[in-house]
Amino acid sequence: MAPVLEFPLNVGQIDDVQELKKSQKTKIPNRFVRDLSERPMLPITALPFSSSIPVIDLAKLMKGNKEEFHYEILKLSASCEEWGFFQVINHEINLDLLDKIEKVATEFFMLPVEEKQKYPMAPGTVQGYGQAFVFSEDQKLDWCNMFALGLVPHSIRNPKLWPTNPPMFSDTVETYSTEIRKLCKHLLQFIALSLGLNGNVFEEMFGESVQAIRMNYYPACPRPDLVLGLSPHSDGSALTVLQQGKGNAVGLQILKNNTWVPIQPVPNALVINIGDTVEVLTNGRYKSSEHRAVTHKQKDRLSIVTFYAPSYDIEIGPMPEMVDERSPSKYRRYNHGEYSRHYVTNKLQGKKTLDFAKIAPETV
């Protein structure tokens, strides 16, 4: 998962934000203070349109009657076209398992910093504990501690980065990820059907899909108006599954019609978003949405994020069924591994990373 850049990177001092919080200083270090244009406007009061992303009932897709299935598929296709995001309920993942992954993730982040730093995320890489996507010493930092692991295929695993503490951490990640993988496969089937395609089209194309997990911990911040939890970006995956910590602050926001819309968590639901890869495959009919995370003055927040993407060796481009005279190809063909490398070796900057794939970047 983590192609290392070939030159030594000088990323400067990256403060651990949980340690900053513990120090109880009210002044935010300059590297975290965003330029005016990037600062979150908090709180968002009135939105010009409905601010809740659609909720898809997986049970209706898996075992609903004909009408329920049809209605839910239409809702799915509208969610993917209009939002690039939805929440899924009745996802068949044991709720205890969701609690358990949250528990071990929180326990990990609560460990002393020296213990967490035994699994360091080296500059320019995306696995381990630290802050990903930092490439220079003048780049602004996110108010977030991350811990990330590559999972599938096994060749992307780095066993040295798998924590032995908390003791149940690694087993829980394995069980959780197996279940999330099944969910991704089901969702991609229904996404294919919602496009009028054969349900197996993605599965057959993807080979052994790449899967990675990232846990993001956003401690409360004395000045949430000055910082960002996570910089605006779209995901490079095909599909992303995001679990928000129970009872945490609201923090995820989606850019829709030039407005940052907060995502209100639905109990026991998982948030799903379309990644850049599905945008390319569908020739832009389903688009990845730009999103970011903001922080909260009193509350910490945890998110557990799974990225599911095609095997690195496959070639990607708009599917022939998605291209015709009225919708000519907007994206070129490229090797997915190359895109992944491009994605993880550039800072997060909205949807700019996807210019890599666009035939005429300014027009899509």
> Under the rule (CB under 6 A), what is the footprint of ligand AKG?
214, 216, 230, 235, 242, 251-252, 291, 293, 303, 305
Residues from 117 through 156 that contact Fe ion (CB under 5 A) = none
C-alpha to C-alpha distances, 141 to 10, 17, 362, nearest whole angstrom: 14, 10, 27
From the number of C-beta atoms within 10 Å of its C-beta (0-12, 13-18, 19+), residue 294 rates as buried
214 binds, among ligand AKG, Fe ion, none (CB under 5 to 8 A by kind): ligand AKG
CB of 212 to ligand AKG, least distance (A): 10
Three-state DSSP class for residue 321: helix
Residue 270, phi then psi, degrees to nearest 5: -110, 145
User: Tokens at residue 342, please?
Assistant: 């491009």
CB of 348 to Fe ion, least distance (A): 8
Residues from 206 through 235 that contact Fe ion (CB under 5 A) = 235
| H or E segment and range at residue 118 | none
CB of 210 to ligand AKG, least distance (A): 15
**Residue 360, strand partner residues:** none
Three-state DSSP class for residue 169: helix
In the bound state, the residue with its beta carbon closest to Fe ion is 235
**Does 290 contact Fe ion by CB under 5 A?**
no
251 binds, among Fe ion, ligand AKG, none (CB under 5 to 8 A by kind): ligand AKG
Q: Which is nearer to Fe ion, 235 or 279 (CB)?
A: 235
Q: Which is nearer to ligand AKG, 237 or 282 (CB)?
A: 237
302 binds, among Fe ion, ligand AKG, none (CB under 5 to 8 A by kind): none
CB of 27 to Fe ion, least distance (A): 29
Q: What is d(CA 131, CA 125) in angstroms, rounded to the nearest whole number?
A: 9
Contact call for residues 334 and 318 (beta carbons, < 8 A): no
Nearest CA-CA partner of 53 in 77, 85, 89: 85
210 binds, among ligand AKG, Fe ion, none (CB under 5 to 8 A by kind): none
| H or E segment and range at residue 213 | strand 210-218
- Three-state SS for 25-36 is CCCCCHHHCCCH
Q: What is d(CA 179, CA 171) in angstroms, rounded to the nearest whole number?
A: 13
Q: Which is nearer to Fe ion, 235 or 276 (CB)?
A: 235
293 binds, among Fe ion, ligand AKG, none (CB under 5 to 8 A by kind): ligand AKG
CB of 29 to ligand AKG, least distance (A): 21
CB of 324 to ligand AKG, least distance (A): 33
Q: Which is nearer to ligand AKG, 219 or 251 (CB)?
A: 251
CB of 270 to ligand AKG, least distance (A): 12
Q: Which is nearer to Fe ion, 101 or 319 (CB)?
A: 101
User: Tokens at residue 1, please?
Assistant: 């998962």
CB of 199 to ligand AKG, least distance (A): 27
Nearest CA-CA partner of 240 in 59, 31, 87: 87
Angle subtended by helix axes 95-110 and 169-194, to nearest 10: 130
Q: Which is nearer to Fe ion, 116 or 351 (CB)?
A: 351
Q: Which is nearer to Fe ion, 104 or 146 (CB)?
A: 146
Instruction: Find tokens 């099944």 and name the residue.
Output: 182
216 binds, among Fe ion, ligand AKG, none (CB under 5 to 8 A by kind): ligand AKG
230 binds, among ligand AKG, Fe ion, none (CB under 5 to 8 A by kind): ligand AKG
Between the two ends of the chain, the Cα-to-Cα distance in Å is 28
Q: What is d(CA 293, CA 286) in angstroms, rounded to the nearest whole number?
A: 22
Q: Which is nearer to Fe ion, 272 or 322 (CB)?
A: 272
Q: Which is nearer to ligand AKG, 179 or 235 (CB)?
A: 235
**Residue 244, strand partner residues:** 303
CB of 252 to ligand AKG, least distance (A): 3
Radius of gyration of the chain (CA): 20
Under the rule (CB under 5 A), what is the footprint of Fe ion?
A: 235
